[in-house]
Amino acid sequence: MPGPLALVIWYIGIVLEITFVVCSIARKSFFRYLFLNAYFLLELGSSAGRYFFLSRFGQASAEYTYAYFYTDALLTLALYVALISLYARVFGELRLNNFVRYAAVLLLLATALFSYAVVAQSEQRLATGFAYELSQNLYFVGLVLTYILWGAVLKLRETRTRLVQFILALGLYFSGYAASYALVNLASKYSVVSFIGPALGCLLPLMWTVTMLRHSEESRLEPARLLAVAR
Amino acid sequence: MMAALIFAVSVVTLLMFFVSYCRSLTAASSSYALSKEVRDVTGIHAFASGRDFARVMQLLQLCPERPEDRLGLRAVAYYFEILNLLQKTLARLTPSIQSWAEQERAGCANFAVVALDRRIAFSREILAQQGEL
């Protein structure tokens, strides 16, 4: 079993994910942000699945390793879809929804092909290697796409407070996760760095829940105040 | 080498998203009309200045907490510290950064005043509910 700190972070994450789904139902926004809710529901399902494999086979078992990496790849895919749904909302008024969908599918296929090409040489680890590689590459693509989406939000002078804060929270999550991933590689001898990634995982449902609670769908903000430029 | 590069780039984007997130928080409270109570308590009649931030944060601690405020206040408090650091270092060399940082500090203080106003209204609601019981 994982240590007590890892378990506490895991439980906090589960509570926050349930809170977001409950809040969006209570604020009548479940279907409006369907893909964000679907991501957290999938996260809850994968937590249940991982717990089943963990308690039945143990942390060092091949079964748990497969379950972990495949659910992780599935979750990254769901987060990618959630990000694309935010793109569709931002570009919806410009009637570019179809273009966004086709571009997203093409980018996903290209990422999957690239991931396959990277792991294709080692046949022994092809099954878990592909899931791991796809997950890592999609995180990187997600970070870049969030950065581009933020640029579009500023350019299009987006005013919807909820949408702006959802995108910024996602940007914080992606960049924090990338930093923690790099830190694990840089300072692997310090065990504390391995907890940063899971702890950051709690930040996304927390920030989205706060946004859902604080702002209604009608809340608007001045786009000029978002530009962090010293004049 | 690659990990160090990824770390540096992601820390820069993290900082950029953090600043933007804090600005979206302060921007959302910029059009809020302050109540008479909070204007009397703080002595701020129109718009707060950066100097008011610490005092308003102390006043906030006297009121019952609203769970939905906690994360925003903490984020804005960190942002305020970053702005203070900026004012003590880079802003000394560039006057435009000095005035921008001061404007941002005022935005943070205004966010705290709005949070105080909401907490006072929340306390009144709790008292009214207790009175009904």
**In this model, does residue A7 exceed pLDDT 80?**
yes
Give the per-residue pLDDT at B125.
84
**In this model, does residue A121 exceed pLDDT 90?**
no
Give the CA angle between residues A108, A111, A116 to the nearest 5°: 125
**In this model, does residue A32 exceed pLDDT 90?**
yes
Instruction: Name the token pair of A168.
Output: 């910024």
CB contact under 8 A, A179 and B11: yes
Nearest in space to A139 (alpha carbons), one of A93, A90, A181: A181
Q: Is A152 near chain B, with CB under 8 Å?
A: no
Task: List the single residue in A161, A210, A229 with the smallest CB-CB distance to B71.
Answer: A210
Which element (helix H / strand E) includes A152?
A: helix A126-155
* Helix B2-28 / helix A161-186 crossing angle, nearest 10 deg: 160
Q: Is A228 near chain B, with CB under 8 Å?
A: yes
3-state percent breakdown (helix, strand, coil) of chain B, nearest 5: 80, 0, 20
Q: How far is B131 from chain A (nearest CA, A)?
A: 26
Query: Is ipTM beyond 0.85?
Result: no
- The better pLDDT of the pair A120, A226 is held by A120
Q: Which residues of chain B have pLDDT under 50?
A: none
| Structural contact between residues A226 and B30, judged by C-beta atoms closer than 8 angstroms | no
CB contact under 8 A, A230 and B24: no
The nearest alpha carbon in chain B to A185 belongs to: B3
pLDDT band at A27 (very low <50, low <70, confident <90, very high): very high
Give the per-residue pLDDT at A224.
64
**Beta partners for residue A220, in sequence order:** A160
Average pLDDT over residues A216-230: 72
| Structural contact between residues B9 and A175, judged by C-beta atoms closer than 8 angstroms | no
Q: How far is A7 from chain B (nearest CA, A)?
A: 23
The nearest alpha carbon in chain B to A207 belongs to: B71
Average pLDDT over residues A111-126: 79
Instruction: Name the token pair of A141.
Output: 């693509």
Q: Is A160 helix (H, G, I), strand (E, B) or coil?
A: strand
CB contact under 8 A, A228 and B7: no
Nearest in space to A85 (alpha carbons), one of A58, A111, A104: A104
Q: How far is B25 from chain A (nearest CA, A)?
A: 8
Across A64-73, A117-126, A167-176, least confident range: A117-126
Amino acid sitting at position B38? V
Q: Is A81 near chain B, with CB under 8 Å?
A: no
pLDDT band at A198 (very low <50, low <70, confident <90, very high): confident
Q: How far is B118 from chain A (nearest CA, A)?
A: 11
CATH of the domain spanning A4-218, picked from 3.30.200.20, 3.10.450.50, 1.20.1070.10, 2.40.170.20: 1.20.1070.10
Give the per-residue pLDDT at A212.
93
Residue ranges of domains in chain A: 4-218
* Number of neighbouring beta carbons within 10 Å of residue A66: 15
A151-197 per-position pLDDT tens digit: 999 888 888 999 999 999 999 999 998 888 888 878 777 777 778 88
Distance, CA of A185 to CA of A114 (rounded, Å): 22
Tell me the residue range of the domain where B124 lies: 2-132
Give the per-residue pLDDT at B27.
85
CB contact under 8 A, A186 and B7: yes
Instruction: Name the token pair of A92.
Output: 């919806």
**In this model, does residue A87 exceed pLDDT 70?**
yes
What residues in B contact A215, CB-CB < 8 Å? 28
pLDDT band at A231 (very low <50, low <70, confident <90, very high): very low
Task: List the single residue in A172, A213, A221 with the smallest CB-CB distance to B28.
Answer: A221
Q: Long-range contact list for B32-40, CB < 8 A, 24+ apart?
A: B32/B114, B32/B117, B34/B113, B34/B114, B34/B117, B35/B117, B35/B120, B35/B121, B37/B117, B37/B120, B38/B113, B38/B116, B38/B117, B38/B120
Number of domains in chain B: 1
* Number of neighbouring beta carbons within 10 Å of residue A99: 12
